[in-house]
Structure 1
């Protein structure tokens, strides 16, 4: 495992590279994106899996994206759209690496990171070889309109400058960047292969969002993992990894 760093608007983004780097032999790559209030360790298991399957797997901490982060940035200045910018910076960095096959860069995202990946894939289009979404948080815009985002409660018609979300402090930008957003419109347009995994017992992102979202992808493999909640654990995580193995072996 090696470390890397890149920058977005002067903020350092720190990450790790899993997999064997072979000079003169570019490899396909995955960029993995973690969820809300987390860091790159959330994706470590998937990065190790992809490395074993012959990929270079890049994980990183979003700027202001969690309580413990190796990257710079304030949680009060973070939003879904600033995280899209972070991902775009990492994508640019990865795509110029001589040991990466720039025609085979894929994205994998969990929860909020999945929503971020879906938006970025729509913007990057054919530059993204494939897309893996694990319980993407497509509920975020509707939650903003409801004034109820995870642990945060606020008046959506009078958004405060700062919002307490459990142990984490958010800024108004977390709400204002998404409150008028139609998530399906934001992700529509990516036509590459997609693997979409959703737990049937997810109490954070209702499975209805996944069932609606897959209609926007012309080449989508969709699996609901029975009994799985938000974030996969134990046998549910092992099943998710099996689906990932099957998907990357044919794409």
Structure 2
């Protein structure tokens, strides 16, 4: 495991690079965590569990903290989907510069799924495969309705800061941007193999979000698991992870 620092517009983004031990070039999966999350240092975390299986299957993994999250620079209240896309583009630039990388694949969970999907659309000629885990495309609908994780605000007069339960102060610009994000339009430019995994027990993001990716993207399979929540936990967790890993190790 190698610690990385990737610079984006003066901000240091912290990352972890894990590779198979055979010394050969391999495909690389870049992982994108969700809203108010981090890259998952705990061995029991979702991202660690997936990373171990990918590396064992001959695929490298690059995990990183978005700006204002984990060990990366930045203020969480200044985070938004657009500057998280900029973060991912910086990480993607680093991956493309590495001689030990063949294909580049993306995996995103929740808001990270929105970011990964839109970046795959922007870099449709660079990204090889895409996995979306409980992608939170509903964040646009929520912003239009004026709600975030139970906190309500006036969507026509958004305050400069919104105190979101369990997350803290979120900049009002986050919601103004979210209201107008062309999430599916941009993501649909990615014509490569894609997989959306969602739990029917998800109480944070309706599984309809993943079904819509399947409808709007050229080659996106959708798999719904009855025993899976938004965190990809539950009785179907192992099956969902196995499916994602198999898809990314082809």
Q: Do they superpose with TM above 0.5?
A: yes
Listed as ranges, the matches of 1:129-208 within 5 Å are 129-166=128-165, 167-208=167-208
Distance 1:144 1:248 in 2: 32
Instruction: Report the counterpart of residue 43 of structure 2 in structure 1.
Output: none
Helix, strand or coil for the counterpart of 2:58? coil
Helix, strand or coil for the counterpart of 1:129? strand
* Cα pair 2:188 2:218 within 8 Å, conserved: no
Alpha carbon RMSD of aligned pairs, Å?
Answer: 1.5
Q: Normalised by the size of structure 2, how large is the TM-score? A: 0.93
Residues 1:94 and 2:95 aligned together: yes
* Cα pair 1:40 1:61 within 8 Å, conserved: yes
Distance 2:245 2:180 in 1: 37
Residues 1:53 and 2:57 aligned together: yes
Residues 1:84 and 2:85 aligned together: yes
Aligned-pair distance for 1:128? 0.2
Aligned-pair distance for 1:248? 3.0
* Cα pair 1:201 1:227 within 8 Å, conserved: yes
Listed as ranges, the matches of 1:205-216 within 5 Å are 205-216=205-216
Cα deviation per residue 1:173-222 (whole Å; 9 max; x = unaligned)?
21111112343213211000001101112111111121122112222222
Once the two structures are overlaid, the 10-residue window that deviates more, 129-138 or 159-168, is: 159-168
Helix, strand or coil for the counterpart of 1:235? coil
Aligned-pair distance for 1:27? 1.1
* Cα pair 1:21 1:99 within 8 Å, conserved: no
Once the two structures are overlaid, the 10-residue window that deviates more, 115-124 or 172-181, is: 172-181
From the superposition, tell whether residues 5 and 151 of structure 1 become closer, same or farther in structure 2 (CA, over 3 Å).
Answer: farther
* Cα pair 1:39 1:60 within 8 Å, conserved: yes
Helix, strand or coil for the counterpart of 2:211? helix
Distance 1:22 1:84 in 2: 32
Instruction: Report the counterpart of residue 109 of structure 2 in structure 1.
Output: 110
* Cα pair 2:51 2:61 within 8 Å, conserved: yes
Distance 2:21 2:151 in 1: 42
Distance 1:234 1:161 in 2: 37
Aligned-pair distance for 1:22? 5.1
* Cα pair 1:50 1:56 within 8 Å, conserved: yes
Q: Normalised by the size of structure 1, how large is the TM-score? A: 0.92
Aligned-pair distance for 1:234? 4.4
Q: Which runs of 4+ in 1 moved over 4 A?
A: none
Once the two structures are overlaid, the 10-residue window that deviates more, 28-37 or 39-48, is: 39-48
Cα deviation per residue 1:1-41 (whole Å; 9 max; x = unaligned)?
11111111110000001223655x21110000001111000
Distance 1:18 1:168 in 2: 31
Structure 1 residue ranges without an equivalent (≥5): none
Structure 2 residue ranges without an equivalent (≥5): 41-45
